[in-house]
A = this chain, B = another copy of it.
C-alpha cells in the first residue's frame, strides 16, 4: 500500500492547460505534469471487456512523402457480436485519445454494452505517441525531441484512424458496413472532427464532452474556471468563499517566517514546500478534476471518490468548528480527492517521473486553448491568459512554435451556427453541464442532425461510462436518446444503400 502519492497520481486530459493558466514556468509544468499513462496502466490489471489486441503498420506522415519509418499502431478489436459484412453489420470505432487505449476501452463501457444490440464490431485504435503506439520504436525515441514529436498531431491521428478502418473493412470484405464514431473529451473532438473531415468513412459521431470551441476567442477564456467555480458555489456558497479566500491565506502564510514549514505540516506534505505556488497548483488541480468527475455515484475514473464528490468536499470544508482556520478546512476538503481511501500518510508534490507528456506537446503546437480565471466569478486566483508568454514558454521548452489559429482553420469553429449547419450532419455533442469542458463544446442543436444532448447534472463524458445500478434517470434518458439517434443514422444509411442497390 503506497505511503504517499504524487501530486496527481491520476490525471485527465487537458491537464496542461489547467496548470498553464496559473503559471507559465516550464519547471512547474514539468513537475505537475501528467504521469497519466504509467500510473493508469498499473490500474488495468484485468480487462473488463473481451477483445483482441492487434497492431497495424501505420504511415508516420500521411501528408508528406518523406521516406520515414512506419510504426506499429495498436488497436483493440472485437467481432464477437458483429453481424458480419452480409448484414452490413456496423463498426463502432472509438477515437483513441491521449492515453493508453486499454484504459479508454475499460472506461468506455457504453460502447461495449450497446454493440451487441447493433450487431456491431468494436474497434479501439490507439492514438499515435500514446500507450504502445510509438513511432521510432520506443517511447524514448518518439519523445526524444521536437523532430521526433513532430508527427504527433490530431490530423495525423485522424488519418491513422481513416487508413486503419478502411483497410480493416477491406480485409473483412466489409467496405459497405457503416462506421459510427465515438469519443470522449479530446477523443470526442477527434470523433466530431473525423465526421466532418472523413464523412465518407463514418456515418456519424457521438462526441461526448468535446470542447471543439475552446480555441482562440470562440468562447470566453474564463469559461472553464467559471464552471468549476459554479459547481462549488451551487453546493455551498460558503465553500466557494472559503476556497476563494484560501489563496490569499496561503500566500500570507508562505510569507511568514517558518510559513512554508507550517503549510507543509498543515497539508501533510512529504517534502518541505518550496513555494506557495506549488501548493496552489496542487489544490487547483483537485478542484478542477473534482468538477470533471462530479459523478452521482462512487467512481474510480481518476481517483477513488464518493458519489457527488464536490458535495463531500464542501461538507468537509464547511463542517468545521466556527473557529477553524481556512487552511485546515481546505486540507480536509481536498483530502476527499487525494485521499478518499485514507491510506495516504503524506502527499508528494514531487516531480513527475515520466517527463514530457504527449499532451504537453500537443498543447504547445496546435491544441492552444486560451484560459483565464476571472477576478469575480471564479474562486481561483485571477489570471489573464497571455499568448505571447505562452508562445515563448513553448519555444523554450520544446523548441516549437505554436500555431494557435490552425485548429479553427483546419476544422472550423468560428461562426459555427452558419457553417456547421450548412455542411455538417450526424453528430451528437453530448455534455453534462457540471463538466468544466462543457463550456467549450456545442450546447445547442445546430441543425436536425447536428444535435446537442445536455444533462444539467452530468460531468465529464459520464454517458460513455458503463451502466451502473445507481445511474440516475437523466443519464438513462440521455443514453437512450443517443442509442435512438445512432439507430436512425444506421437505418437511413441502410435505406440509402438499398435505394442505390435497387437502382
**A interface residue numbers (CB < 8 A to B):** 59, 61-67, 146-147, 149-153, 155-156, 159, 162-163, 166, 175-176, 196-201, 203, 365-366, 399-401, 403, 405-406, 409-415, 417-426, 493, 496-497, 500
Contacts and interface: CB of A to CB of B under 8 A. Distances in A.
B425 A423 contact: yes
B176 A63 contact: no
A199 B419 contact: yes
A497 B176 CA distance: 37
Nearest to A59: B403
A84 to B, nearest CB: 19
B62 A166 contact: no
A108 to B, nearest CB: 25
A157 to B, nearest CB: 11
Nearest to A170: B405
A63 B199 contact: no
Contacts of A176: 415
A365 B163 CA distance: 16
A179 to B, nearest CB: 11
B67 A146 contact: yes
Given A162-B410, A409-B163, A153 B63 contact: yes
A391 to B, nearest CB: 13
Contact of A496 (B67, B163, B166, B421): B421
Given A422-B199, A422-B203, A63 B61 contact: yes
A73 to B, nearest CB: 15
Contacts of A146: 65-67
Nearest to A166: B409
Given A65-B153, A200-B415, A418-B500, 15 more contacts: A64-B156, A65-B146, A65-B400, A65-B401, A66-B150, A67-B400, A159-B410, A199-B419, A199-B423, A200-B412, A200-B414, A200-B423, A422-B425, A422-B426, A422-B496
Given A155-B63, A410-B159, A415-B176, A200 B420 contact: yes
Contacts of A201: 409, 412
The interface centre, meaning the residue of A65, A199, A411, A413 with most chain B CB atoms within 10 A of its CB, is A65
A63 B63 contact: yes
Contact of A62 (B401, B406, B414): B406
B412 A147 contact: no
Given A422-B199, A496-B422, A67 B399 contact: yes
28 contacts: A61-B64, A62-B406, A62-B410, A64-B151, A64-B153, A65-B153, A65-B366, A66-B146, A159-B409, A162-B409, A162-B410, A163-B406, A163-B409, A175-B415, A197-B197, A198-B410, A198-B412, A200-B411, A200-B412, A200-B413, A200-B423, A203-B422, A418-B493, A418-B497, A418-B500, A422-B493, A422-B496, A423-B425
Contacts of A365: 65
Contacts of A415: 175-176, 200, 500
Contacts of A59: 403
A493 B417 CA distance: 12
Nearest to A399: B67
Nearest to A68: B150
Nearest to A162: B409
Contacts of A405: 166
A35 B406 CA distance: 36
Closest 5 A/B residue pairs (Cβ): A200-B412, A199-B423, A63-B63, A200-B419, A66-B150
A410 to B, nearest CB: 7
A156 B63 contact: yes
A411 B159 CA distance: 11
Nearest to A147: B66
Contacts of A406: 62, 163
Contacts of A399: 67
A348 to B, nearest CB: 33
Contacts of A423: 199-200, 423, 425
The interface centre, meaning the residue of A156, A400, A418, A497 with most chain B CB atoms within 10 A of its CB, is A418
Contacts of A196: 199
Contacts of A175: 414-415
Nearest to A145: B67
Nearest to A500: B417
Contacts of A493: 418, 422
A422 B178 CA distance: 13
A62 B65 contact: no
A499 to B, nearest CB: 9
